[in-house]
Structure 1
């Protein structure tokens, strides 16, 4: 099928062609027609399948069909909720790209940065708002956002929003949009909590399921390296000597682990930057831009970026630490092999992570091929004992010990400043 067969208006077709697309992806082919017809859509699709265009194109066409009256203030007519800042920015960029030849305004709001530029853009009037739930509710509470004119509500990466604890913020937003609306709901997984939310907010939805989360993208080549935890850094540097690893996204389990990997890579002569929740929004965006532009070869990330990074032609994903949630593995490796391109996902596994590996292989329904010919094979085959937490002790300084030991002749302790405390006397009547 060609995009021309989806009955799209000429300005959108031209913008899609400018982006280099000729054939819709399966999720786009199945979701765009019912969305154009005004139906609610329930889409189950993992990252990298083209979900953004599946809801952005119908929204742009719908809003263009309803002409804005001359002189009338623009109001928010489409709202897209998404869990992370990075994903919000990318969705906004997609709306601007597909709507390049349309007279529609799109804005994005998220936390972690000053709200003032966002508020200024809202005051100028917009048609489409992309938002993270926390900042959205904050600005609603301050009176800067009114959602009573929303015609289409999109929940993107709904399962991730629930995982990140946004369920109450999402519920608040739903109560503020009109009950008579179109709702487009997309999630990579469909646990019971998601289905209960779907049943409450969707009306007779068209269900679209493409590439279920348990089946990873076929074009992604997967490889597994058994390695001791202490040798992961050496193995990573060893693999990065291969020039075929052109652009590498490395996932670690913790924020401190990401920073530590970056330091070790820099010591080994490999330029890298980290992106995680402790970084400011500007620092995260600068690191992402440097990676996209090829200024750095390696980007090290925690799972906050697993669904928020969209990079064309990413050659490799490396799981430096295996995730303890098997679905997260699928989301991570889905960063490569996008838009029909190939890619490679490499995973390191120490003995402590073998249980997580078993759960991942059960989910994807196959064994990950093991690479045995490497210089750092696993040699530790016992569980690393967890160190007991040591109670914090207050250690007195030598000066403090001396002061506490000193007594005056009348038994009154000396004050820290060295002055003797005056004894208290009671006045006898």
Structure 2
């Protein structure tokens, strides 16, 4: 089957031709005909199989054939994604596939000023791609309504559950209209996800293109047993010996990701970190630099394991392997995309061996065990010291002092509103009580005393 056999609208076919898309992926072949009929769909496919186009193309076809004025402060289609990066990527796909359609697409997520998003939504939008938290913030501020939504998409549902979005999703479900089309996509389908799907879907068609917890067939997977304290030396050797185009390096914690980057910088190796403590600007800059090839190494927590479609990732390195087998599947799915081959290398400490066994049991794949390199202990002894943490504006002493002063003033203001005496009424270190000076005379500098001016009195009674 080819795209021209699916019956998509001409403007969409024109956009696909400009990107040289001819043959749809298996999930697209199965999902698009069902969605063109207006049915609800529950799609299960491992990451990197083309799920975004599977729901974007038939939705754009619906809009092309059913033009309608967007409702004020509303949207005709709502797509929910677990992370900011995935939301931005989905929105860009809609813009690419719908470039010859006059449709408006907006992203809604945290980490950026909300007022700009409120203005963008004020006249209504055709397609809104959002993360749950910021979506509900806008709804609570009456800047957005989803009561007129015609198509609803929940992408990466299993990660939504992992990130604790179950209650926000239940709130969203109650606000959506009854007569909508629902699209539900997930890489895995445990019982909890099935229960969540039942709240959104109405007599859905189920589509699956890969068994649960399978790994990419074109990924060469290997593991090396190494002490936790010596992993950094092993990473340096791997980066020197492997033919790496781009590599994603995964850690379990945000602090761990930053620490790996500092060690790499200490050895003169460029790398960026991406995790939840980074600002949206920092995350966007790091991902763009990685996507454009300006930096070959991106150190990430599992925030980047889902849905980030970066071509040319030749290696995934699990600096720390995950304790959830499904997360391993999502991590290594960042390589071997679009028919390419990839390499997944895992560093396994003694306390991580049970995690490795769980991964092999769930994926039914036995990882190749690679020994430590011959020169490993020498590399451990000669490991360069990590670079010092970079001090950005938020870490400078002047900035910290300014923030502390602003916080102090805010707290004093709050106390005054509650009737708590402010600093001018407290006993000072010398035992004298500070009281407001309410006279109208001139101060020492010749300026009239203001309400906050103070004078010292004797010891408090």
Confirm or deny a common fold (TM above 0.5): yes
Partner of 2:37: 37
Q: Secondary structure at the match of 1:361?
A: helix
Partner of 2:4: 4
CA distance in 1, matches of 2:154, 2:15: 24
CA distance in 2, matches of 1:72, 1:160: 31
Relative contact order: is structure 1 or structure 2 higher (C-alpha 8 Å, sep ≥ 6)?
Answer: 1
Q: Is the 8 A contact 1:253 1:321 kept in 2?
A: yes
After superposition, the CA RMSD in angstroms is 2.2
Task: Give runs of aligned pairs for residues 121-136 of structure 1, distance below 5 A.
Answer: 121-136=120-135
Does residue 200 of the first structure (1) align with residue 196 of the second (2)?
no
CA distance in 2, matches of 1:339, 1:48: 8
Partner of 1:343: 342
Partner of 1:399: none
Give the CA deviation at 1:22.
1.1
Q: Is the 8 A contact 1:109 1:118 kept in 2?
A: yes
Give the CA deviation at 1:124.
4.0
Structure-2 change in CA distance of 1:417 and 1:423 (3 Å): closer
Partner of 2:19: 19
Partner of 1:408: none
Structure-2 change in CA distance of 1:424 and 1:121 (3 Å): closer
Give the CA deviation at 1:375.
3.5
Partner of 2:185: 186
Task: Give runs of aligned pairs for residues 70-89 of structure 1, distance below 5 A.
Answer: 75-89=74-88
Partner of 1:305: 304
Give the CA deviation at 1:221.
1.2
Q: Secondary structure at the match of 1:230?
A: helix
CA distance in 1, matches of 2:104, 2:428: 66
Task: Give runs of aligned pairs for residues 315-394 of structure 1, distance below 5 A.
Answer: 315-372=314-371, 374-375=373-374
Task: Give runs of aligned pairs for residues 128-277 of structure 1, distance below 5 A.
Answer: 128-242=127-241, 244-277=243-276
Instruction: Count how many residue pairs are aligned between Structure 1 and Structure 2.
Output: 388
Q: Secondary structure at the match of 1:54?
A: helix
Q: Is the 8 A contact 1:85 1:308 kept in 2?
A: no
Partner of 1:99: 98
Structure-2 change in CA distance of 1:210 and 1:418 (3 Å): same
Structure-2 change in CA distance of 1:260 and 1:375 (3 Å): farther
Q: Is the 8 A contact 1:253 1:303 kept in 2?
A: yes
Runs of 4+ in structure 1 deviating by more than 3 angstroms, as ranges, are 71-75, 375-378, 415-425
CA distance in 2, matches of 1:416, 1:74: 55
1:259-303: per-residue Cα shift (whole Å, max 9, x none)? Answer: 000000001111001000000011000011111111111100001
Which consecutive residues of structure 2, in runs of 5 or more, have no partner in the other structure? Answer: 378-426, 434-457
Q: Is the 8 A contact 2:272 2:297 kept in 1?
A: yes
Structure-2 change in CA distance of 1:281 and 1:72 (3 Å): closer
Mean Cα displacement is larger for which, 273-282 or 235-244? 235-244
Q: Is the 8 A contact 1:290 1:296 kept in 2?
A: yes
Give the CA deviation at 1:200.
2.8
Partner of 1:412: none
Q: TM-score, normalised by structure 2?
A: 0.80
